[in-house]
Structure 1
Amino acid sequence: MLSTVLPQKGKLLISEPFMADPNFQRTVVLITENTEEGTVGYVLNQKSNYLLKDLIADCWDADFEVFIGGPVAPDTLHFVHKRPDLISGGADLGNGLYWGGDFEILKSEINNYRIKADEIKFFIGYSGWSKNQLEDELEMNAWIVSDKFNPDMLLENGEVNIWKEAVLNMGVKYAHITNFPQDPSLN
């Protein structure tokens, strides 16, 4: 299943269907940084029990869902958005997506109701791989790298099955794996 696309920023990592690590079972990770030192990304489809207003007192009416970005630094808050016109300082990921930006401006724009839930996604923690770790996992076929996706899909909230949608976007070669059971021993 190994893809030949390198996992650069703005690409997706789609976990193989039987990944045993509970942090990454049937997950889709958006890569935001890949350097010689390692790789950083955010799990897009593991919702936490928090809303933004639960974590940031200054955002008293912010009913934005917060996702678990990964097991690293779970006491930190991060965001990906498509509003560089309102939030300055974000890193361009391509496809109209930006990572981070000026947090004080972000809070002001949220409190003034200028940012909608489908324009931003919040994460507690992140996913990180040390130098060569992700490459090793790719060689073991733990991940599929994809650049075939609708950027709006990544910012969707609720019960959307992003993993299944991301796999289907890879084409017929991969579509059959969406039907694999999560636990093959139950088959």
Structure 2
Amino acid sequence: MIEKGIENGKVLLAEPFMLDPNFRRSAVLLCEHNEEGSVGFIMNKPLRMRIDELIEDFPEFDSEVFFGGPVQTDTIHYVHNVGEMLDESRYVVDGVYWGGDFSKLKFLISSKLIQPENIRFFVGYSGWSEGQLADEMNLGSWVSANMDANYLFKSIPSRLWEQVMYNKGDVYTVISQVPEDFSWN
């Protein structure tokens, strides 16, 4: 059974007082959710390194790498808005695709057909086993929000959690203003 609020293309916002340092104030793009589990990528934790510094023989490309999550941190993933150009891409939500043929990706980057504003790279991913994410949602660890491609490609990562929370409206507008450091409250 697929639970309400947990589906491909949603944003999972960590509740404001989550203590887990991997997910504190994180905005996670959920790319896959099914009976076997869930996979997503933290959109707002830059690692301050470029993809061409991380992968040998990658074309020169001024694109920052993000911490996607604590699972398999020896892997690289990418989310982009050029799904029609990149074979084997998986549709996530309007304007957002996941993965695709890596050799063709390098060719498209070398040919300047993909620019840094078209793609985000992630080290590792966020993963949940069967039923785990639903349990965490029921405990109130996460708030589900609709995804907009602009969150990934045009927003300032350090402000993303607040932006998405604020855009939900109602009580979430107030939650978005809760200071990260409890002593400021």
Give the TM-score band, short-chain normalised. Answer: over 0.9
Deviation of the 1:159 alpha carbon: 4.9
Gapped runs of 5+ residues in structure 2?
A: none
Cα distance in 1 for residues equivalent to 2:48 and 2:96: 25
Report the RMSD for the aligned CA atoms in angstroms. Answer: 1.6
Deviation at 1:160, TM superposition (A): 4.7
1:27 aligned partner, one-letter code: S
Q: Does 1:122 align with 2:83?
A: no
**Who is 2:177 aligned against?**
179
**How far has the Cα of 1:63 moved from its partner?**
1.2
**Distance of aligned partners of 1:72 and 1:153 in 2 relative to their CA distance in 1, 3 Å threshold:** same
Out of 103, 126, 149, the position equivalent to 1:151 is 149
Letter in 1 for 2:22: N
Q: Per the alignment, do residues 66 and 129 of structure 1 end up closer, same or farther by CA in structure 2, a change over 3 Å counting?
A: same
Aligned to 1:168, the other structure's residue is in SS state helix
Deviations 1:38-71 (A, max 9, x none): 1100000000132011122222411111000000
**Greater displacement, 136-145 / 51-60:** 51-60
What is the alpha-carbon distance in structure 2 between the residues aligned to residue 124 and residue 99 of structure 1? 14
TM-score, with length taken from structure 2 = 0.92
Residues of 2 paired with 1:158 and 1:62: CA distance?
19
Partner in structure 2 of residue 87 of structure 1: 86
Secondary structure, aligned partner of 1:74: strand
Cα gap change, 1:51/1:158 in structure 2, threshold over 3 Å: closer, same or farther?
Answer: farther
Distance 1:173 1:158, change over 3 A: closer
User: Post-superposition, which runs of at least 4 consecutive aligned residues in structure 1 deviate over 3 A?
Assistant: 156-160
Q: Deviations over 1:153-187 (max 9, x none)?
A: 21237555111111111013310012212232454
- How many residues get paired? 183
Secondary structure in 1 matching 2:31: strand
User: Residues 58 and 107 of structure 1 are in contact (CA less than 8 Å); yes or no, is this contact kept in structure 2?
Assistant: no
Rounded Cα–Cα distance in structure 1 between residues aligned with 2:9 and 2:156: 22
| Structure 2: distance between partners of 1:170 and 1:46 | 21
Q: TM-score, normalised by structure 1?
A: 0.91
Q: Answer yes or no: is 1:102 the counterpart of 2:104.
A: no
Read off the aligned partner of 2:31 and give its amino acid letter: T
Identity %: 39
Distance 2:36 2:110 in 1: 37
Aligned partner letter, 1:154:
L
Deviations 1:93-130 (A, max 9, x none): 12121110000000111111111122111100000011
- Partner residue in 2 for 1:6: 5
Counterpart selection for 1:169 from 153, 162, 167: 167
Deviation at 1:150, TM superposition (A): 2.6
Q: Distance in 2 between matches of 1:174 and 1:158?
A: 19
